[in-house]
Amino acid sequence: MGKVYRAKVLRKLVIYGIILFGTIEVGLIRLVFPASFTTYLLFIPVYFLLLGIFLLLVLSRMKRKRLHPGRALARLMIFNISQMTLSFILMFLYYYFVKEQKDTVLLAFSVYYVFFMGIKLFVIYNIENQHKTEKKRLQHAKKEQ
């Protein structure tokens, strides 16, 4: 997993990964557990797609501003906390107001949440690798001079 992806490729991987996983998860539930399927399950991939796009926007803005790594990490942690809080509020509202297939939706949302955290880990790991390779390249250029 030591490969470094460019920003454009990384965006495609994140967006297509979210869409593909959502399609597989909802399709699997519909095929294997048709009695548990509800149309509210279709909103889960849309929610995480919007979160993924927002994550990519936050990261591109941090890159444009060339934030100090400590500040960038603090902003990512704020993003994680706000994502977790928003997800908790949405599931709380769904659980108490909609009440249609509560267990299925909660389980599907939880699985998707774990998948999304893996995507975020992949994105952050890729950014860290970009920083390391750039730092090595600059150190090598200084040695040659």
**pLDDT at residue 27 tops 80:** yes
For the whole model, what pTM was predicted?
A: 0.82
Which tokens sit at 50? 């919007």
Q: What is the pLDDT of residue 71?
A: 75
